[in-house]
Structure 1
């Protein structure tokens, strides 16, 4: 299968991977031959990239980092949990009943994160969470899940003990709870925000902290994840402009994965980046905005060039990423489909991590149709 942009799709091509809603319902099943109406509907639903079947990419299978069933369950838990906790902060909510519901929500968060941790520990592979096959109603829930998955893998990479990994995961799932109190019209506004609107959106960090610090089951470092995940080590972040060691270690970790996840998913005012572009952004801010160690460790966790992505090499050849190399994420295996002159060739594989290919580099990557 091959990753392509919907804008470049033509009627008649076949889906290689189903397009589904985050609740598990399938919109378009794998094998569907796309029509002009299908393509128009995908654009309307803001699906920008899909996986298709073609002869050149036959046999390239995409490895899901998290099983579909677990992902659906996790989105449900996060949706119910954030809604419950946010709703029970009202002064009119019954205190005893509210405490019980909040406790159940936190336990559900902890259980689902343990399942995610076991999944990632049991099958180590570079994370690939492109949202190309998912449609969601609320960005916050999907974003919180993806950030928690990235945060889990990065916490593992840091060698943290299980208790701290679980605290990081809970902090990641709850870090944006303050956005539940921000107007959806502002959060989803297309185009740039005004200064006043941006300041309003920024208040979600303090709103989230105020909610979580009052929840008995939430450790204080988890509440600080909500407060500090937009802080930057050079003091240019918000809400308090904290610097370097004044920022909690969990928040330093979380700021890296939070930005990466946001950059690689579509927003009303910005198109999604491919992973290698988002990583370049993090490296550009390494040691100024982002903790350098966390950026370097995160690079080891993710599939910089996802399977199915079309790439051009420095010798002029064009190919499709067929397999990523764990621990050498920037040098995957490539299926060559065009030669140095751009002419079609019988596809063959090269491994950029192999000694004989060390001088060959990826110089361009895109989600293309050809």
Structure 2
């Protein structure tokens, strides 16, 4: 299996991964042989790329953090929460708790799982995919941080709902391609507080869930918003959500910026360590989020291209690769003869 940008898809390729929309509905199923109309639909929906199965990448499997069933469930939940005008807090709260438990079970079922794939999210449904991705990545980081199961529930709930305050900000402001007015900027900067107040007013979550939502745009050095808290005065849940939120936002295409590659987003987080981000969280992030996800094409320092076969969580710059020109597999971590070879960039 390997990741292919939409512009490089050809009819006859076999889809390697189920494709869902922002409501959690399956659009296309794995193993489907792509026809021109499928490729046109993927492009129209705003998917930047998909995974395909082919002979060259046989045996390369993407280990998903969430099962397709759980991801579909979470997408559907978030979609409804953002779009509903009227809420039934008791029913919704129970549904949220049940869904969060399914997310945590998936993550805890594999103690060695990494955040190790290019996410298949479309442009128009960004809010829903983003909420699910932030919850998933935050939970992965929370496990590595050593949070208890109860604390993971708190963290993952706050992460899933971190942007719920945006439902009170006009869509044309959130998605504006133009510079915002000062009043519009003020509205956007209020979304953590609006989300915090909405949750406090309507639900009976642990107060730390709401604190995670309130503080997810605070900076470790005190330069964030809305309260300009710093260091450990920021909830640990908010500090974890912050890293997950920035990473997923940077690797997503938005009206005001193109998506960065995972490696470029990781570089940014490293650069802003100790200023924007808690260094303890960044340290965990750098061990468990793949710089070069499995199935992605990379350019090597000797001019060749390869597909990533396997990552090692303490040595993410030295994965196992399969060279496209020859089919040779090279373990950049353990192969002494390959120590002069480095990865220059993701070729996607």
Q: Same fold (TM over 0.5)?
A: yes
Matches within 5 A, 1:1-370: 1-11=1-11, 13-22=13-22, 23-27=24-28, 30-35=31-36, 37-83=37-83, 87-88=86-87, 101-123=88-110, 124-132=112-120, 134-135=121-122, 138-215=125-202, 217-338=204-325, 345=326, 347-356=327-336, 357-367=338-348
The residue matched to 1:213 in structure 2 has which SS? Answer: helix
For residues 119 and 16 of structure 1, the distance between their equivalents in structure 2, rounded to whole angstroms, comes to 21
1:80–1:43: structure 2 CA closer, same or farther, 3 Å change rule?
closer
Asked whether the equivalents of residues 21 and 125 of structure 2 are also in contact (C-alpha less than 8 Å), the reply is no
Give the superposition deviation at 1:104: 2.5
Aligned counterparts of 1:52 and 1:182: Cα–Cα separation in 2: 38
TM-score (norm 2): 0.90
Matches of 2:345 and 2:63, distance apart in 1 = 23
Supply the distance in 1 between the matched residues of 2:86 and 2:41 (Cα, whole angstroms). 34
Aligned residues: 345
Matched residues in 1 for 2:125 and 2:42: separation? 17
Structure 1 residues 185-237: Cα deviation after superposition (integer angstroms, max 9, x where no partner): 22223355444323221111111111122345122221112211011122221
TM superposition shift of 1:320: 0.7
The alignment partner of 2:324 has SS state of strand
1:342 maps to: none
> Which has the greater radius of gyration?
1
Shift of 1:11: 4.8
Residue 137 to residue 259, structure 1, CA distance change in 2 (3 Å): same
In 2, the alpha carbon distance for the partners of 1:191 and 1:29 equals 38
| Shift in CA distance, 190/53, structure 1 to aligned 2, threshold 3 Å | farther
Stretches of structure 1 that go unaligned for 5 or more consecutive residues are 89-100, 339-344
Superposition TM-score, scaled by structure 1 size: 0.85
Which residue is 1:341 aligned to? none
Deviates more, 1:249-258 or 1:43-52: 43-52
CA RMSD after TM alignment:
2.3
Q: Which moved more, 1:284-293 or 1:189-198?
A: 189-198
Distance in 2 (CA, whole Å) between partners of 1:195 and 1:285 is: 26
